[in-house]
Structure 1
Amino acid sequence: MAIGSSLNGKMLDWEYRRFSKQIGTQTTGEPTEDASQKHQVSANFPIEKARLRALPILIILLVACCGGYGWCVARQVNIAGPLMLQIAVGYIAIAVMNSTQTLMIDLFPGYGSSVTACNNLVRCSLSAFLVSVIDLIIRALGVGWTYVLLGGVSLLVLPLLYLEMRIGPTCRAKRRAQEA
């Protein structure tokens, strides 16, 4: 996960520059706070799309790895299988978390610590809930189907990503108009 965080940061920077170039906005070097804020001021720059474009692929990979992990554990295959899938899930989970966190900080410049605290509160509360019920789910469905279910829940996020990319700029413009 430590390596994944670093790699994902570089991927986010690269994707940001590539998307800016693709839509005709000039950015030089790494996306800095100033460049990001310049784009946020302009309602024409879809920062949501720039930050979330890679997530559908990552979420599909997460679903596949999560289901594969569950079935590897259920079938008691060689330990190498589940360990490799844990590495993949760790990277993908940190990549998804970093991508969404970066977008939230881009959307609310100057409120980075508040955004991070709210994100962590929701994420950790949901994790605590899942830890409290996972044993019940495993007993009811079995290990393999439990991880298929968890992957399926992750798959439910995909429409929300596309919704955010579509209506996000409009919501952002309305919020800025109200703040002004």
Structure 2
Amino acid sequence: MRPEQKSEYREYVAARWTAMRNFAYLTCGDWHRAEDATQTAFIKLYAAWNRASRASLDAYTRRIIVNGLIDEHRRGWFRRERPHDELPDLPGPELDSPQRITVLDALAALPPRQRATIVLRFWEDQSVQETAKTLKCSVNTVKTQTARGLQTLRGLLAETINEQLEGNLR
């Protein structure tokens, strides 16, 4: 890689690190997995920097993250990292409100493809066509995954609200 390309890469990573990590978190629901997925995505992007289109670097990077998280989800339990007794040095980047935690828990309950579609469509504010391009699937698949994901989210959130209301009435 030429020095000017390395400079472009460094600038891109510095500018987009937080946004991509937040995208990864919303896609997987775990700050540690999000951090790993983001690091892995930027390493893969570095290797493919000459092939990556400058016009769609964000979409390319998001696709690497989604593919990595889906592949990780498919791995057998024996190939995953094992948890340790000690907590990491740094907590998540922000404190969460109860409503945010409820929505993030519901989002984490979705299957990986539906979660990726919901995050791309509503968090990243991508159109159906952009989401289809990012996920390398058809527009109809995006529409189906979005509809099913929203239906599941509504059901999960309705259950949570009902449980909270019943708890308050007791």
Higher relative contact order (CA 8 A, sep 6+): 1
Q: Which has the higher helix share?
A: 1
Which range, TM-score by smaller chain? Answer: 0.3 to 0.5
TM-score (norm 2): 0.33
TM-score (norm 1): 0.31
